[in-house]
Amino acid sequence: MESAVATPTVTGGARSGLPRLVSPAAAREIPPYLDVHYWWAYVHPNAVRVFERQWLANLILWGNYARLRDAALDLMGERLPGRTLQVACAYGDLTPHLCSRVSAADGTLDIVDVLPVQLDNVRRKLPADAPARLVETDSSALPLDDASYDRVLLFFLLHEQPESWRRQTLAEAVRVLKPGGRVVIVDYARPVWWNPLRYVFAPVLAALEPFALDLWRNDITRWIPNLPDDRKIERRSYFGGLYQAIVISG
């Protein structure tokens, strides 16, 4: 049975042919944690001008951007028919690469984010005929039907969210997934003991990413409420354990 969700409103003024949908309930205000902790990285218009640089995205991930992007894409699939959902925009060329796999497979891609400035940035990175929609909404309250997507991607989102938002975001990702579909999560994790970044990077994360160390201390799946027993969980580790990929399927 599909849940009752708010009907998004289509807005105009697009620079390209990509439609933009606004969820009336979720688009009223920016989540407080973004305004307080991430205004400099995502909210302020200058943030896009500073951080939308491929080399900088790669530097932030210690030279691992391409590797982690390709890992996420490969876990999603070489060809992506049906409906694909990307939860939250990302700097760098992840979304164009993802969209190219959707385009080749006669599928559709929905990209959700609560910040209009981030959706506008993604719009500029995609061709006008991309099979994509931009949905302005909070990841913790998606205006999307139950069991309506074949696959869902969360790429370096969860470490930026306080626990309450993270828990609800994961619940929403699982809710909108079709039976037999998959959720792909790529994010930080606790490095192995011999990785020097385990000791020098923790203070940096604590200062700049106040919720990131939650993922060092806990398994991501612990924040998924009522995860069905028949869901299969696959895990992969990268760069001495600093990054992880989790695939939830079934």
Which residue ranges form the domains of the chain, and what is each CATH number?
9-249 (3.40.50.150)
Total count of residues recorded for the chain: 250
117: which residues sit within 8 A by CB, 6+ positions away? 42, 43, 45, 47, 48
Buried b (16+ CB within 10 A) or exposed e, 135-162: bbbbbbbbbbeeebbbbbbbbbbbbbbe
Check residue 137 and give its pLDDT: 94
State residue 81's pLDDT score.
96
pTM, full prediction: 0.92
Q: How far apart are CA 72 and CA 66, in angstroms?
A: 10
Mean pLDDT for all residues in the chain: 92
- Token match 């969980």: residue? 233
State pLDDT tens for residues 180-213.
Answer: 999 999 999 999 999 999 999 999 999 999 999 9
Q: Which residues, including other chains, have CB under 8 Å from residue 208's CB and lie 6 or more apart? A: none
The Cα–Cα gap between 3 and 171 comes to 13
